[in-house]
Structure 1
Amino acid sequence: MSCAYAGDERSYELTSIIPEQHHFASSHGDICYFEWGKPGDGPSVLLLHATGFHARCWDQVVAAFPDGTHVIAVDQLGHGRSAAPIITDWDDVAGATAELVQSLGIRFAVGAGHSMGGHCLVQVAASHPELVERLVLVDPVIMERAVYQNPPDYSATNEMVARRRNSWTGPEEMFERFKDRHPYKLWDPAVLRDYCAHGLLPDGQGGYRLACPPQTEASVYATSATVDPWPLIDAITQPVTVLRAPQLEQNGAFDFATSPTPPGLADGFANGTDVYLPDLTHFMPMQDPKRIAELIISG
């Protein structure tokens, strides 16, 4: 697949490989998802994004997939163009995604989940093994077992996230504000443009607001230990590839670029493979989408 931006930067629209936008009424709220291609002989690819992001952050990864790949990228509950309630349990996020995939009749997909998306993919694959034949966990937020027994205090992070700027004139202002800042300056500029172009919604007053409301994003962080994934990991028999970034010294009090993934996570799966990527950060799909695409396809 290949794509290019239109000349008018105000629109940030792709001139080719524009996905179809769909909606599904889950029991947890409306879920928006995007579809590239149609089901064929090969497995479909299911893409789940990280906290605070949206389905279209995968655009450049999808562009690097082989032509004809059928792809479903989900705006997970609370994000993008999906319903945005305050999240009280990560079970709800994964449950809405599982309902969507079941409704589409997709079986034995290749699933890839980044950060929170990796955690949710584990939930989906464990509870509905017929939906996912192979998992690629992209620096997932799956912490050591002990953390789920004694969860840390996330209040400082929650307060910081809840104060995110939520008023913008448009994607161009957002892009210009972020492009030279850590960690966004590490990203492929095309991914940052996708994030800005599809990460804002009209606010009804001539401006724009974040598609993931700050209070909703904060609630996702606040409930990140509500589902202990380790009993699920113990039950998963599908092949699992863990893409893991280094655990870096933080660049500021709230630096999300360091990896949250334990180095031994892959060993917890019956059929796990660890792929350490020391030159990338937690935002690896944004930094090197082509490389991540290759790893998703190859496993």
Structure 2
Amino acid sequence: MGDPKEKRFAAEGVDLCYFEWGDPQHQTILMIHATGFHARCWDKTIAALPENFHVIAVDQRGHGRSAKPNTLADWSLMAKDVGALVSGLGLENMIGVGHSMGAHVLVQMADVMAHVFDRLVLVDPTITAPEAYNNPPDLEDIDPNQNPVSRRRNNWVSPEAMFAAFQDRHPFSLWQPNVLADYCHHGLLPDDHGEGFVLACPPFLEASVYEGFRSVNPFPLVERLTLPVLILRAQSSKDDVTAARDFANSPTWPGLVNICSNAREVHIPELSHFMPMQDPKRIAAYIAQPFD
């Protein structure tokens, strides 16, 4: 589809960046990235799609080139942002594609604006077992400093230096190198306070997402969902301790497909939670294929 057009949209008081590929006369695929990522992580998946699609990929608030608020703990705000973008652009008959937290955001959107979607593809959604949402956090009490992600290295000399540091490090070593290059190249911004670059999703904000993952219970929304839904579920670990420490393991509750009235699941145990980064062509094929 060639290079995308970079565009801006003011949504819910937050300036969003989004990228657009293809002819708007074709069916739109809306793509929502995972925590800590950005819209251009989808580049290789989009390149593998047929030409007869129009694609919108969004940098969610706090990510990529979108505005940076003070916290991302309230997951409902990200859904409102992207929902406002969809309404503002007048998008309809969309295939909604969300990865990880992006899939959770997509489920929230579908609960209030199902009419704009044709179907949903949830790529290893961060929707864990129902009991995890029994005691939602008080958002005022969330301290992202408690999460080790807040201590991620933030300063880099160049995207190439970031790539060199990550290419042999798990789970990035599982990714296709060209996807990792996109992640590094588009995931850094010039450091306004010095030389070099900083992460486009600051570690403190990324940590606040993880700390707030129980802020919205998705199960009442999933139970009301009647749209056709495809769930792509990745590998999981029987060792709960290992699973909790390894972002490569699936966060998706295996029973999710049974809660959603019009869903089917494809379990892909040979791929990790980062399946679009490991096998973008395969994920593109699932997105483009009409549901039976």
Length-normalised TM-score, structure 1:
0.90
Post-superposition shift, 1:37? Answer: 1.1
Q: Give the partner amino acid of 2:214.
A: A
Among 116, 123, 132, which residue is 2:108 paired with? 123
Secondary structure at the residue paired with 1:39? Answer: coil
Post-superposition shift, 1:88? Answer: 3.4
- 261-270 or 48-57, which deviates more: 261-270
Structure-2 residue corresponding to 1:72: 56
Structure-1 residue corresponding to 2:233: 244
Structure-1 residue corresponding to 2:271: 280
Q: Is 1:161 the counterpart of 2:149 in the alignment?
A: yes
Structure 1 CA distance, aligned partners of 2:158 and 2:262?
45
Task: Mark the runs of 5 or more structure 1 residues left unpaired by the alignment.
Answer: 2-16
Secondary structure at the residue paired with 2:277? Answer: helix
Structure-2 residue corresponding to 1:18: 3
Structure-1 residue corresponding to 2:135: 150
Structure-1 residue corresponding to 2:201: 212
Among 4, 9, 19, which residue is 1:34 paired with? 19
TM-align CA RMSD: 1.9
Q: Is contact 1:49-1:75 (8 Å) kept? A: yes
Q: Is 1:259 the counterpart of 2:266 in the alignment?
A: no
Structure 2 CA distance, aligned partners of 1:274 and 1:252?
21
Structure-1 residue corresponding to 2:81: 96
Task: Mark the runs of 5 or more structure 2 residues left unpaired by the alignment.
Answer: none
Secondary structure at the residue paired with 2:235? Answer: coil
Q: Give the partner amino acid of 1:34.
A: F
Q: Which has the higher helix share?
A: 2
Structure 1 CA distance, aligned partners of 2:9 and 2:175?
31
Post-superposition shift, 1:150? Answer: 3.1
Structure-1 residue corresponding to 2:280: 289
Cα deviation, 1:202-241, whole Å, max 9, x if unaligned, reads 0022210000011111111111111111111111110000
Q: Is contact 2:156-2:197 (8 Å) kept? A: yes
Give the 3 Å change call, closer, same or farther, for CA 270–253 of structure 1 in structure 2: closer
Q: Is contact 1:157-1:254 (8 Å) kept? A: no
Q: How many residues align?
A: 283
Length-normalised TM-score, structure 2:
0.92
Post-superposition shift, 1:155? Answer: 7.0
